[in-house]
Amino acid sequence: MKRIIFSLVLLVLASPLAVGQTPQPAAGQAPAKHQVGLIDMAHIFKNYQKFTTLTESLQAEIQKADEQGQQLVEQIKTQQQVLTSGNLVEGSPEFAAAEAKLLEMQTSVQTFQRKNQRDFLKKEADIYKTVYLEVEDAVGRYAQYYNYTLILRFNRQSVDSAENPREIITGMNRQVVYYRTSDDITDRILEFLNSEWQAKQTRSAERP
């Protein structure tokens, strides 16, 4: 039994992962050099012209739908006045028909609102997904070209610029406490994205 235990101890000590030892690269193989970059995604979304254009277009659709909904609401109010005007005798066929019409209009408005809410939420999610994937692709190409091994999200806003307690706590909870300015690739990615978007818009405008 002692011989078996002794053999196991020798095997552990011989392992490159034994306590006190660090795995070494193979002979002739240089250790991997890590280069970490940082990107403020909130700043990208806020200042990417394509995202601004898409969200403004969506807001215009929402505004138009709201106006249509308001018109339907006004029609319901008019129909309610028909019932409360006293011109129709409650319980009469005319009153019942007007009441049924009112219920139908209310149901239509509710359906209209639910459908719009569902559709606009999906469109908004699609915008965020589209822009995020574009940013991700640009970051990936940038990282490969300049040999970055890791790109992390971070928030440029410092604790010094925070004013209310929530902003202060959020700033103190940042994962990145210190970084070099050269590690921040936000502006370079944003410049690339905006130039690509502008070039695409110019090409579209020049097409007959």
Q: How confident is the model at residue 14 (pLDDT cuts 50, 70, 90)?
A: very low
Asked whether residue 8 is domain-assigned, the answer is no
β-pairing, 150-153 vs 36-39, is parallel
What is the Cα–Cα distance from 108 to 165, expressed in whole angstroms?
A: 45
| Distance of alpha carbon 10 from the chain centroid | 54
- pLDDT value at position 69? 94
Residue-wise pLDDT tens digits, 59-114: 999 999 999 999 999 999 999 998 888 888 888 999 999 999 999 999 999 999 99
Asked whether residue 17 is domain-assigned, the answer is no
Taken in order 166, 167, 170, 172, is the CA torsion positive or negative? Answer: negative
Name the pTM for this structure.
Answer: 0.74
Count of Cβ atoms closer than 10 Å to residue 190 Cβ = 21
- pLDDT value at position 9? 38
Residue-wise pLDDT tens digits, 41-57: 999 999 999 999 999 99
Amino acid identity for residue 124 in this structure: E
Asked whether residue 13 is domain-assigned, the answer is no
Residue-wise pLDDT tens digits, 169-206: 666 667 887 788 899 999 999 999 999 999 999 988 88
Q: How many domains does the chain divide into?
A: 1
What CATH number is attached to the domain comprising 68? 3.30.910.20
Asked whether residue 63 is domain-assigned, the answer is yes
**With the CA atoms of 110, 113, 115 and 118 taken in that order, what torsion angle do they form, in degrees rounded to the nearest 10?**
-130
